[in-house]
Structure 1
């Protein structure tokens, strides 16, 4: 029996709604951050540091969600972990849009209201942290080896598509409205809009299967075989299940995070850290502000952000279509070189106080290079490099490291820019160069290998 591709793609499509919500939740702040600054920061005379913390407060939740993703996904299962993430997205959307609910006077800024807003953003961040770890893991544990890279990359496409959708939503809400209206009502609608995709995701996930590898870990072999048979046919399913059982039942590896050595964990952490230290989320979170600093008007800056979102989608498709043909390492190294060129050029332009179309071009070169490489491929590698027995623990550590790095980069961006804009972009360019060297020296090629074969790669090291 041939692969049941329709079943695989339906399951992947529903799972990637978690990725779409990940993108939606992290990027919704881009259209609202100036209104939040006016309403909760400037009105109380608070510092740029508190502004940076508020813009990136969801990342605190992302770290928490990442840290506990291993526990949640191994205790409740990959499927239920995604349902929990969806519920958190829903609560965050409703709360962030109406932070005064129950405790505060509507429209009256205060420190208490600022912390309540940040609390709801952190709740959404926990959902993002869970989804960022579990969505690729869920897809990776269901997908056949020969199309796994493509399917896991679809999750990154969903993240970027979610960002693009929210750029359009934010633009649509702000279009034709006064600054006063956006600062009082518009930003609330931006956050609340996320409740719609969050509700759809929670409902659909109830109808999805658990992953066969998680079921095998729980010794539910009959259920695992049933799902594998639906994907691969009975004969192939029995062969895959015996391979899974061989890795699951190895007493030597049972429960030991470093059973395959420290290198695999270090590689996972550094993949995550470099994905953030190259500065991508600065470009995503602060996109409208960056374009306004180039001289674009409010509406034009939102439109340029949408253009950037479209570029991101196109180049993520490049990664999806090439990852299982060219391999992971060539794409990562090529992307690192492109990012370095883009960021170093922006740095040179910033040092010379040149702001204009050339800056926009190099921002697009930079983001396009990221989206065809580190954006999707980092998640593909994190979902597949770890052996079965330690996957949930190791993915949790890698994802927590990623969100910690993300929080550091995003929250330090405003004060770094106040100190030196050229120096800030140069830092991201240097990180891009170091990321290429790291991939060349330390990251194994995983193209076409089964998840069970990952064990052999690390046992040889």
Structure 2
């Protein structure tokens, strides 16, 4: 068992592991940027492109359509050519699409560029947590994968702050909002060039010497020997990363759990709060300044509670956090829907919006990515992860596309009753179908899957 807390003599190069994890997780920052920038830009885009509710939903959801394509592309690249090439391509797409959106003269060009940005987001959303999981020791893997979620929420927070500061600069402000994404995307591209390849992928590809060299940088000789033995054993037992292998009977339970959790993370409804903050608060009379200020408050709470999740995910565990988050969101949504229906004060609504954000940030947001990066066998991890994350982005598109339409016919409060019911159903799925994974190596989890 490769676990520094249990295996005598095994030591890890923590600064090195954290360093390469943070560089890989910069993809999460750009994920957060593209995810959050739309909340600040929508009030301006509605005017610039004369958006109806359906077009507003489609424009917001176009990112998700690109993410689907990006995940499919990333899964193939990750299993065939390695994790690093996919991260490089993702970073380059980010940089180009940021400028493309900023200089788009009309709606069709903007939609194409936002779709392209989605390809980069989709690739990074799958590859960054997968890469971090594969270079991290078992006893800190949850925390390290949660670094990716931390960079996502930092991207959201910083983008919301920038949006708020830019808001008074005229009708073309949205161009600056999107164009500034070129700066972090260029930094991500530069950093990825210096990342080592995943040693697990190298061993699967037969590059034992290169894998050994990287494992030596990660941990002590005892760790290297244990890793080579356990990973090598799993590589010999597994099939290659084809889609038929992903849906083989032996791994189907893990795939079902991965897909269901990915879809639930979106259908729980929280991304409506992130993407349509202005719509929600406009419905109770908040002006543009208050709408954008609320996005900043959401970003701050999101960041603080993500730090709490990073502290607890390897202590309390994945399953308890998910149970608390799903049941808590169900209750909070019922109260929030009632307050919106009653046209309650902005402060009361803000309290329950921020409470929902806090619950999500400590549970479904980081832990879903952790579990998806853990539960699949090494030989199909890239392809299987892409299937789960594609499902996530399909669910995200459905969620953000339908909200403006549902809100028009049901009122802004109506959809939150639906999201409350979904969260309750998710609670029971997690309770009966999701097993704890904390503190176990990826090879142990794979061996357990094979036995069952």
Correspondence 1:16 to 2:25: yes
Q: Which of residues 91, 110, 113 in structure 2 aligns to 1:117?
A: 110
The superposition leaves residues 81-119 of structure 1 with CA deviations (integer Å, 9 ceiling, x where unpaired) of 11100111111100000013xxxxxxxxxxxx2111100
- Quote the residue 1:388 is aligned against: 378
Separation in 2 of the partners of 1:2 and 1:236? 7
Separation in 2 of the partners of 1:222 and 1:306? 48
Correspondence 1:257 to 2:246: yes
> Can you give the 5+ residue segments of structure 1 that lack an aligned partner in the other structure?
101-112
Compare 288-297 and 16-25 and name the one that shifted more.
288-297
- Quote the residue 1:152 is aligned against: 145
Q: How does 1:314-329 map to 2 (within 5 A)?
A: 314-329=304-319
Correspondence 1:406 to 2:396: yes
Please say if residues 64 and 397 of structure 2, whose CA atoms lie closer than 8 Å, have aligned partners that are also in contact: yes
- Quote the residue 2:55 is aligned against: 50
Separation in 2 of the partners of 1:156 and 1:206? 22
> Can you give the 5+ residue segments of structure 2 that lack an aligned partner in the other structure?
1-9
- Quote the residue 1:67 is aligned against: 72
User: TM-score of the superposition, structure 1-length normalised?
Assistant: 0.93
Q: Which of residues 170, 175, 188 in structure 2 aligns to 1:188?
A: 175
Separation in 2 of the partners of 1:253 and 1:67? 16
Other structure's SS at 2:41 match: helix
The superposition leaves residues 433-452 of structure 1 with CA deviations (integer Å, 9 ceiling, x where unpaired) of 11111111111110101001
Separation in 1 of the partners of 2:239 and 2:305? 42
User: TM-score of the superposition, structure 2-length normalised?
Assistant: 0.94
C-alpha RMSD over aligned residues: 1.4
Separation in 2 of the partners of 1:336 and 1:194? 32
Separation in 1 of the partners of 2:199 and 2:447? 21
The superposition leaves residues 286-307 of structure 1 with CA deviations (integer Å, 9 ceiling, x where unpaired) of 1133223332221222112101
Separation in 2 of the partners of 1:202 and 1:124? 14
- Quote the residue 2:99 is aligned against: 94
- Quote the residue 1:441 is aligned against: 432
Separation in 1 of the partners of 2:85 and 2:215? 19
Separation in 1 of the partners of 2:360 and 2:21? 23
Pair 1:424–1:246, CA change in 2 (3 A): same
Correspondence 1:201 to 2:201: no
Residue 317 of structure 1, CA deviation: 0.7
Separation in 2 of the partners of 1:342 and 1:19? 27
Residue 456 of structure 1, CA deviation: 2.4
Q: How does 1:283-362 map to 2 (within 5 A)?
A: 283-362=273-352
Q: Which of residues 95, 117, 135 in structure 1 aligns to 2:128?
A: 135
Q: Which of residues 348, 351, 369 in structure 1 aligns to 2:359?
A: 369
Please say if residues 241 and 383 of structure 2, whose CA atoms lie closer than 8 Å, have aligned partners that are also in contact: no
Which structure 1 residue ranges, 4+ long, deviate > 4 Å from structure 2? Answer: 251-255
